[in-house]
């Protein structure tokens, strides 16, 4: 009889944790304190990107829809008003490595931009200069990174930087 | 039997919503930073068809639309299916306007010229020192009305200046109009602030001080209340003030802090009376002085305010139109209080001209670069100038320019009418001359700044000649020290004396 009970006990627990994960993910909160599997996270982020969560000033999605590893993403930031980035659309490439979301993704601007923390010759975002990349937490996401970059565009030190002509990209 | 029912797939070329053959209609949300619309479209439409729908809904041209989905820009030749756009998903939209803003709302650029352009009456251009740059470009004091256009024509793009109404007899009126315009359009303000000339002017504290000191009201005020002149002479304060005027967000922050401090003060017993006293002694005349520069406070009469002695220049009749009760709120001095002495002065936050400790003289960022900058001709000139500083230098060094400026500076009409009733006390023996000197200094400073070099050759000694004489008459024999002190205080005798006394071992 005890074995019978144990069996039931285990099977009850497993579906319980899985549903818990799903619940937490579904609310869009990634801060579970529990390690969420990478693909779950990325799928959720994919869905958010397609649904246009947020205020419409950033957008992100898979670079290649067939990419099963969910590694390469493209992002887009709309330059904030009243800055030198105004009215421009910045394209980025975000790479979520195998350890994501425990480690931050690598981010690279495709559209040329002049901004503190962005390498002038290849558009790489310096993880040490961007606060959330430097102090990454696994509750952060691609959306958060894009929004933070946009917020930095509005900072005093960046908003007045002279920008290269529109439409130029880094040759990589 | 050729009915044009519109649903015949064979003849179908248009792109109505329910058109495309038998595809399913999906509802896609189109989101701009400001707006959100749901658009029904066939699942296999192309991006350009989608854009057509969008342009109808958002009232924008198709080629102004930029669509973004999942971080990618949708090109016209693609289809929605290619990008995986399905029912219920959101596409981001950016409407590219010609110049500014990213969502179809274009700002009104500062276009309308200032107030009543009273034709091309040359003669006395009345540039009041506060808030008016560009006198070098203004019409010269030549008597014949026909001359200025000739001179101006030679400057290239200055023909627009004839619309400036520079010859307006009542310059105050002009300024007030421009002020009103400016205040009703905050975007203009930020535009102006971004103008590099304005910025460079604001970063020059001496210049700012001169502008303020040159106002005769201010001079009176300073003589009555020495604390005010102290404030003026404190470079830290000036710099802070200018920083604030430049940065409206910071200013708001400051205001808030002061309001808080003020309410604390009120709670002290007897504090309220002290506040009221301070207000009547200091704040009010200062207000009037500041506002007088920018046109009279229309509410001053309303409140039965009898402290009008310094407000209206008695000699000129009040030509301003009555205030528009439905117009944009003008500065109302009604709800202001002050705190002790020089420490904390607060003000209502309606007009950016209201003085406060952070902005002791009511330096209005809107008052600077006012007027002149509004006309399109002027603007293009400014653009040219900022792009090509050499142009500026050339302009200024041209010989006729020089003579024009000199005659400008000597023209007594240029000075705003001195206020009648309040007699200037002794220290400045010749108020008119004092004003003149101040004005001249002011102009020279401005010109120097423009030319980026020594366009004029007057040494400080010459400028401060009169003050030096006064100082030596008072018993300060050391001419060198006097000169130093005068330079440091920008010609303010009282402050210079304090400096001299302070430097002596007591």
Structure token digits, residue A36: 């969420």
pLDDT averaged over consecutive 10-residue blocks of chain B (506 residues)? 44 43 78 85 89 88 88 88 87 74 34 37 38 38 40 41 43 56 55 59 62 64 64 64 62 74 70 67 59 47 41 55 63 38 38 45 44 51 61 57 58 45 42 50 56 51 84 87 87 86 64
SS3 A59: strand
Does B100 contact A87 at a Cβ distance shorter than 8 Å?
yes
B64 lies within 8 A of chain A by CB: no
SS3 A118: strand
Q: Is the ipTM of this complex over 0.90?
A: no
Give the C-alpha separation, B216 to B228, whole Å: 14
Size of chain A in residues: 172
Shortest CA distance from B104: residue in chain A: A87
Q: Which residues of A touch B68 (CB under 8 A)?
A: 59, 76, 78, 89
Give the C-alpha separation, B282 to B221, whole Å: 8
Shortest CA distance from A61: residue in chain B: B70
Does B70 contact A82 at a Cβ distance shorter than 8 Å?
no
Name the minimum distance, in Å, from the CA of A58 to any CA of chain B.
8
Q: Which residues of A touch B90 (CB under 8 A)?
A: 50-52, 56
The one-character DSSP state at B279 is I
Helix or strand run (H / E) with residue A76: strand A72-78
Give the C-alpha separation, A72 to A61, whole Å: 9
Shortest CA distance from B88: residue in chain A: A51
Q: How many helices (H) and strands (E) does chain A have?
A: 5, 4
Instruction: Give just the sign of the alpha carbon dihedral B427, B429, B431, B436.
Output: negative
Tell which B residues from 8 to 37 touch A, by Cβ distance under 8 Å: 29, 31-33, 36
Q: Minimal CA–CA distance to B392: which of B449, B435, B351?
A: B449
CA dihedral A37→A41→A43→A46, nearest 10 degrees, is -160
B190 lies within 8 A of chain A by CB: yes
Q: Which residues of A touch B33 (CB under 8 A)?
A: 55-57, 78
Mind listing the pLDDT tens digit of every residue in chain A (172 residues)? 444 444 444 444 444 445 444 444 444 446 556 778 899 999 999 988 888 777 778 899 999 888 899 999 999 999 988 899 988 899 999 999 999 989 999 999 999 999 999 999 999 999 999 999 999 998 999 999 999 999 999 999 999 999 999 889 998 6
Name the minimum distance, in Å, from the CA of B120 to any CA of chain A.
37
Q: Which residues of A touch B31 (CB under 8 A)?
A: 52, 56
Distance, C-alpha B283 to centroid of its chain: 22
Select the residue of A57, A61, A82 nearest B70 (Cβ to Cβ). Answer: A61
Does A50 contact B92 at a Cβ distance shorter than 8 Å?
no
Give the C-alpha separation, A168 to B253, whole Å: 39
* Strands of A72-78's sheet in order across: A58-62, A72-78, A89-95, A106-109
Shortest CA distance from B247: residue in chain A: A156
Cβ-based burial of A3 (10 A; exposed 0-12, middle 13-18, buried ≥19): exposed
Select the residue of A73, A86, A87 nearest B71 (Cβ to Cβ). Answer: A73
Q: Do residues A72 and A63 touch, judged by C-beta distance below 8 A?
A: yes
Shortest CA distance from B93: residue in chain A: A56
Between β-strands B25-31 and B90-95, what pairing exists: parallel, antiparallel or unpaired? parallel
> What are the C-alpha distances in Å from B344 to residues B103, B274, B280?
42, 13, 15
Q: Minimal CA–CA distance to A79: which of A169, A146, A133, A129?
A: A146
**Which of B29, B31, B68 to mutate: most A Cβ within 10 Å?**
B68
Please give the sequence-ordered ranges of beta strands (E in DSSP) within B19-165, or none if there are none: 25-31, 36-42, 65-69, 72-73, 90-95
Q: Do residues B446 and B206 touch, judged by C-beta distance below 8 A?
A: no
Q: What is the rounded radius of gyration, in angstroms, for the C-alpha atoms of chain A? A: 20
Q: Do residues A170 and A114 touch, judged by C-beta distance below 8 A?
A: no
Select the residue of B66, B72, B90 nearest A52 (Cβ to Cβ). Answer: B90
B330-372, pLDDT tens digit by residue?
444 333 333 333 333 433 333 344 444 444 444 444 444 444 4
Give the C-alpha separation, B197 to B133, whole Å: 9
pTM: 0.38
């Amino acid at each position: 009889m005890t074995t019978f009970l144990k069996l039931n006990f285990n099977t009850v627990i497993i579906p319980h944790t899985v549903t818990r994960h799903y619940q937490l993910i579904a609310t869009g909160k990634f801060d579970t304190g529990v390690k969420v599997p990478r693909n779950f996270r990325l799928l959720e982020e994919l869905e958010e990107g397609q649904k246009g969560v947020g205020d419409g000033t950033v957008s992100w999605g898979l670079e290649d829809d067939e990419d099963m590893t969910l590694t390469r993403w493209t992002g887009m930031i709309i330059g904030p008003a009243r800055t030198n980035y105004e009215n421009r659309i910045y394209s980025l490439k975000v790479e979520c490595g195998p350890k994501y979301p425990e480690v931050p993704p690598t981010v690279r601007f495709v559209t040329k931009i002049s901004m503190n923390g962005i390498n002038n010759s290849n558009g790489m975002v310096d993880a040490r200069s961007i606060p959330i990349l430097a102090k990454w937490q696994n509750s952060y996401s691609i959306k958060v990174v894009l929004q933070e970059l946009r917020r930095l565009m509005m900072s005093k030190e960046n908003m007045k930087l002279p920008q290269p002509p529109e439409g130029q990209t880094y040759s990589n | 039997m050729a009915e044009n029912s519109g649903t015949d797939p064979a003849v179908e070329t248009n792109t109505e919503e329910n058109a495309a053959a038998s595809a399913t209609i999906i509802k896609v949300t189109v989101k701009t930073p400001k707006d959100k619309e749901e658009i029904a479209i066939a699942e296999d439409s192309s991006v350009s068809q989608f854009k057509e729908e969008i342009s109808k809904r958002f009232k924008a041209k198709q080629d102004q639309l930029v669509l973004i989905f999942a971080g990618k820009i949708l090109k016209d030749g693609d289809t929605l299916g290619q990008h995986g756009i399905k029912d219920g998903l959101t596409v981001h939209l950016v409407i590219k306007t010609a110049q500014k803003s990213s969502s179809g709302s274009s700002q009104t650029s500062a276009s309308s010229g200032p107030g009543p352009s009273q034709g091309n009456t040359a003669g006395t251009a009345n540039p009041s020192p506060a808030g008016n740059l560009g006198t070098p470009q203004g019409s010269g004091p030549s008597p014949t009305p026909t001359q200025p256009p000739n001179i101006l024509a030679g400057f290239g793009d200055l023909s627009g200046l004839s619309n400036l109404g520079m010859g307006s007899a009542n310059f105050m009126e002009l300024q007030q109009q421009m002020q009103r315009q400016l205040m009703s359009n905050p975007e203009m303000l930020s535009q102006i602030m971004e103008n590099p000339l304005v910025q460079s002017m604001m970063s020059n504290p001496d210049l700012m001080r001169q502008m303020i000191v040159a106002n005769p009201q201010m001079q009176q005020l300073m003589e009555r209340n020495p604390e005010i002149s102290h404030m003026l002479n404190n470079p830290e304060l000036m710099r802070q003030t200018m920083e604030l005027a430049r940065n409206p967000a910071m200013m708001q922050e400051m205001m808030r802090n002061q309001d808080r401090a003020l309410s604390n003060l009120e709670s002290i017993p007897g504090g309220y009376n002290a506040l009221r006293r301070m207000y009547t002694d200091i704040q009010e005349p200062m207000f009037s002085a500041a506002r007088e520069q920018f046109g009279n406070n229309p509410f001053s009469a309303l409140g039965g305010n009898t402290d009008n002695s310094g407000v209206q220049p008695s000699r000129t009749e009040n030509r301003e139109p009555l205030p528009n009760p439905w117009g944009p709120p003008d500065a109302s001095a009604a709800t202001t209080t002050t705190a002790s002495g020089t420490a904390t002065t607060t003000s209502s936050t309606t007009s950016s001209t209201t003085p406060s400790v952070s902005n002791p003289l009511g330096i209005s960022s809107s008052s600077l670069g006012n007027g002149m900058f509004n006309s399109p001709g002027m603007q293009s000139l400014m653009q040219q100038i900022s792009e090509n500083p050499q142009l500026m230098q050339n302009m200024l060094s041209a010989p006729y320019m020089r003579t024009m400026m000199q005659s400008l500076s000597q023209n007594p009409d240029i000075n705003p009418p001195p206020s009648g009733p309040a007699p200037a006390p002794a220290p400045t023996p010749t108020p008119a001359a004092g004003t003149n000197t101040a004005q001249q200094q002011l102009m020279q400073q401005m010109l120097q700044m423009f030319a980026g070099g020594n366009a004029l050759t007057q040494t400080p000694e010459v400028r401060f000649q009169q003050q030096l004489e006064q100082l030596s008459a008072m018993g300060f024999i050391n001419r060198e020290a006097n000169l130093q002190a005068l330079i440091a205080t920008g010609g303010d005798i009282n402050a210079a004396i304090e400096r001299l006394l302070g430097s002596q071992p007591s």
